[in-house]
Chains A and B, each alone.
Chain A
Amino acid sequence: QSVLTQPPSASGTPGQRVTVSCSGGSSNIGSYTVNWYRQLPGTAPKLLIYNNNQRPSGVPDRFSASKSATSASLAISGLQSEDEADYYCSTWDDSLNGYLFGTGTKVNVL
């Protein structure tokens, strides 16, 4: 399917580990690498993970990601208050011949 489905929200307390899933199909995640973006309130998105599991310079190793078949996941360990943000997965889609963004997940730090 040409949609990337994420849970609307995920929560954790400081120090905990939180995971965010991203479910797609053979025309997108099944064929291409996945990127993850973080968007703090009122700001532009920022690249968090590229090429399935690579962190850009400056992104702490608390953030990790993986991909398997037509799904991907992002893990945040040692959760901090500043991690409260919206997280989006993204990849190319053959059927749409364009980029897809996931539906987005709001991570809350309790």
Chain B
Amino acid sequence: QVQLVQSGAEVKKPGASVKVSCKTSGYNFIGYHINWARQAPGQGLEWVGWINPNGGGTNYAQKFQGRVALTMDTSIFYMEVNRLTSDDTAVYYCGRDNNDAMDVWGQGTTVTVSS
């Protein structure tokens, strides 16, 4: 079955970087963009960006441009967030894009930024 499995929780200091992985299986990964979204504690969902596995093209939400990098290595996708602040404390999710809907999601990765 289609699965997206994310890496484990991270604790980082302000100014550091974090790299979260999303391992896909059960489908032809080339055919579907992978989205990333995040959810701060007690808040709603916020889209971060997507990567097209067919060529590696990316699209970022304006507020993350220049600070987030989406990459991939065959069927494993990565999101790196640089220059972390406490506002980046959130659960980060990857999700498969199927005709503009995120039809399968990873379990989420908690990133805590604290001095």
User: Beyond A37-B102, A47-B103, is A88–B44 a contact (Cβ under 8 Å)?
Assistant: yes
Q: B108 contacts A88, CB within 8 Å?
A: no
The A contact surface, by secondary structure, is strand
Q: What's the minimum C-beta distance from A47 to chain B, rounded to whole angstroms? A: 5
Q: What's the minimum C-beta distance from A65 to chain B, rounded to whole angstroms? A: 12
Residue among A33, A90, A96 making CB contact with B61, cutoff 8 Å: A96
Count of chain A residues with Cβ under 8 Å from any Cβ of B? 25
Q: B59 contacts A51, CB within 8 Å?
A: no
- At the interface with chain A, which of B10-18, B45-53, B72-80? B45-53
A100 contacts chain B at the CB level, 8 A cutoff: yes
List which B25-81 residues lie within 8 A (CB) of chain A: 35, 37, 44-47, 49, 59-62
Interface residues of B (CB under 8 A from A): 35, 37, 44-47, 49, 59-62, 93, 95, 98-108
